[in-house]
Structure 1
Amino acid sequence: MTDHARRLLAEFVGTAALVAVVVGSGIAAQQLTDDAALQLLANSTATVFGLGVLILVFGPVSGAHFNPVVSAADWLAGRRYGTGLTATDVLTYAIAQIAGAITGAVLANVMFDLSAWQISTHDRITTGHLVGEVVATAGLIAVIFALARSGRAAMSAAAVASYIGAAYWFTSSTSFANPAVTIGRIFSDTFAGIAPGSAPGFILAQIIGAALGLALIVMLYPRSVAEAADNAVVPHPSTTDH
């Protein structure tokens, strides 16, 4: 298997596992209690632990992006200096991530003896939710690239997972912050799902948030460790080794 194929496999499996954690814990929470606060607590706690582990497992192979806007930001941050992903990498990563997200949602449905193929009816599109997604995604990108540009990318497993766990609670949208995960969650009509009509607005908000987060990092860390752009989320072999 080529190095690039291994990267795509890691992004596919890692994103599938992440969505299985998010959706599966949402289903479990919904089945265990009717209390919305407890449901969110269970969902966010499982996501924090699951995401941290997945970054540690897959990060050395692909960087553990699991997120198209992270991959796009990696390309954008590094392209002036010949580091980070290539445009082709971003496209293939995104395809693997979206396919993985859908697979993870279907897997979660099957694990809980629900219909494998579902379409969510959970409408989330409000102004507050969209602002929440901008904030959540901007913060996520800022955390990832602040660590990468200051030579602390090895701390990303704990830092990124902790940020996402906090953002579940301080953002109105419960911090999707990920276009692939947003698409995957369309396919689960449960506590963790999102209706198809809400997804485009969320994805646009995530793109805007990613741009704002990256702009902030460029101002705070101007070319300080630009070569580290290739180490988002965690250090991994150079893309030039394909």
Structure 2
Amino acid sequence: MGVSKQAIASEFMGTALLLATVVGSGIMGERLAGGNVAVALLANTLATGAALIALIATFGPRSGAHFNPLVTLTEAALKRLAWATAGVYLLAQVLGAIAGVVAAHYMFELPLLMESTHTRTGPHQWWSETVASFGLLTVILNVAKTRPDFVPVAVGSYITAAYWFTASTSFANPAVTVARSLTDTFSGIRPADAPGFILAQIAGAGLAVAFFTWLEADTPEQHKHV
């Protein structure tokens, strides 16, 4: 059976609303913070974490609420999702992310798309994205197995924390990275820097899958009984 239109629409709309939140709260935070970058980042962080909880709870029953190519590729690699479905999800996520940037720009009377000039590159930034992505996928895979109803809160909480403990502010999402290269605002990243982030994110996700697989293979028998 093919993927439903409702699932595709959920991935598109969920990712669009996520990016509208990330970019819009970054713009609002920067405008209201009076030059205080920490306050602007805090506003950006809290809005993003809160939106993730709401959006995953909203769209989870319809599409799984991936909103992230790393999650989709992981599900396909673990044979929980058909590769054909994964391809459609990836397209919906990237297009949704770009639509979210356009929506945020229009709300704040900015050009609909702008090439970012925010430099985010170098080994420390790439390592930050590897760590951020590894942590995100580790949280998702393990919480989804043991407490699926808690996934929205777990993901929102992790991203809220990772904004602050990673030097890159935890993009941890290739679709988000592509879209944020199209906004020259607080949350932007230069297009030239995006490929390094994306490769680091994929590496982190791969490590998370390997770690999860190892944990599953070594699960004690007593942990399998209720």
Q: Structure 2: which amino acid aligns with 1:73?
A: T
Matching residue of 1:92: 88
| 2:38 alignment counterpart | 37
Equivalence for 1:11: 11
1:208 maps to amino acid: A
* Residue of structure 2 in register with 1:101 after alignment: 97
Partner Cα separation in structure 2 for residue 222 and residue 153 of structure 1: 20
Q: CA deviation at 1:21?
A: 0.2
Aligned to 1:9, the other structure's residue is in SS state helix
What TM-score does the superposition give when structure 2 sets the normalisation length? 0.93
Aligned amino acid, residue 70 of structure 1: V
Give the letter for the 1:30 counterpart.
E
Equivalent in the alignment of 1:240: none
Give the match for residue 128 of structure 1.
Answer: 124
Higher relative contact order (CA 8 A, sep 6+): 1
The CA deviation at 1:119 is: 1.0
Root mean square deviation, CA, Å? 1.2
Matching of residues 1-242 of structure 1 within 5 Å: 4-33=4-33, 34-77=35-78, 79=79, 84-150=80-146, 152-222=147-217
What is the distance in 1 between the residues matched to 2:124 and 2:194?
Answer: 14
Letter in structure 1 aligned against 2:198: I
Which ranges in structure 2 are unaligned for 5 or more consecutive residues?
Answer: 220-226
1:200 maps to amino acid: P
Aligned residue for 1:221, secondary structure, equals helix
- 2:222 is matched with none
* Mapped partners of 1:162, 1:191: distance in 2: 21
Question: Which letter does structure 1 place at the counterpart of 2:55?
Answer: L
1:219, distance to aligned residue in structure 2 (A): 1.1
Closer, same or farther in 2 for the Cα pair 1:88/1:3, shift >3 Å?
Answer: closer
Measure the CA separation in 2 of the matches of 1:4 and 1:119.
Answer: 34
**Residue 52 of structure 2 contacts residue 156 of structure 2 at CA under 8 Å; is this kept in 1?**
yes
2:223 counterpart residue number: none
Supply the distance in 1 between the matched residues of 2:140 and 2:210 (Cα, whole angstroms): 13
**Equivalent AA in structure 2 for residue 113 of structure 1:** E
Query: CA 1:69 to 1:3, structure 2 compared with 1: closer, same or farther past 3 Å?
Result: closer
Q: CA deviation at 1:223?
A: 8.8
Count of residues in correspondence between the two structures = 217
Segments of 5+ residues of structure 1 without an aligned counterpart are 225-242
